[in-house]
Structures are given as C-alpha cells and as structure tokens.
Amino acid sequence: MSRRHLRRLVQKLEDAGVPVERHEDGRHRRFSIPPEHCRSEVPVRLSPAALRRLYELATEDDHEASREAVAALREAIRVEPGA
C-alpha cells in the first residue's frame, strides 16, 4: 500500500468521524482505531436459505471461529421466520 493511499484511507475515516490514532516507532508509523470505536459485530440480513447454507459450511470446519458461527447461525435460523 502506498503512503498516498494510506493517507487517503486515514482521511476518509477521519472525515466519517472515526478517530485515528497515530503511533511513531522509529522509522515506522502505525495507525489504529481505538477499541471503543471498533465494531465487533456487523449486522447482516440473509435469506433463510443462505443462513442454512452458511450453517452447513461452518459445521464442516473445526476452527474456533466456525464453532462460534455455528452457534450464532443456529440461533438465527431458529428465530428467522420461514426458516
């Protein structure tokens, strides 16, 4: 990623009201978003068929994130009308 591209991304975040912290580490410059401004969950609307297919795919994987997804998808399928 070029410095110019990075500057543009940081500027877009700041223009959108997202605070960006700058860290100098010798020759390196790092940027971060404070944890309280990070989203840990992103709302997504899916059809019942898409929810079921994601559930099927997630159950085939033994990764921790997949196990979390299986639990969340199971709940979403249970409460989704027409699922």
Which residues span the domain enclosing 8?
A: 3-37
Whole-prediction pTM: 0.45
Q: What is the pLDDT of residues 54-81, one digit of tens each?
A: 888 888 888 888 888 888 888 877 765 5
Q: Is the pLDDT of residue 14 over 90?
A: yes
Do 73 and 58 form a contact (C-beta atoms < 8 A)?
Answer: yes
User: Whose CA is closest to 18, among 30, 35, 4?
Assistant: 35
Domain-located, residue 20: yes
Mean pLDDT estimate for the chain: 85
CA–CA distances in Å: residue 55 to residues 44, 46, 75 = 15, 12, 10
Residues 6+ apart with CB under 8 A from 13: 20, 33
Same structural domain for residues 29 and 53?
no
Domain-located, residue 42: no
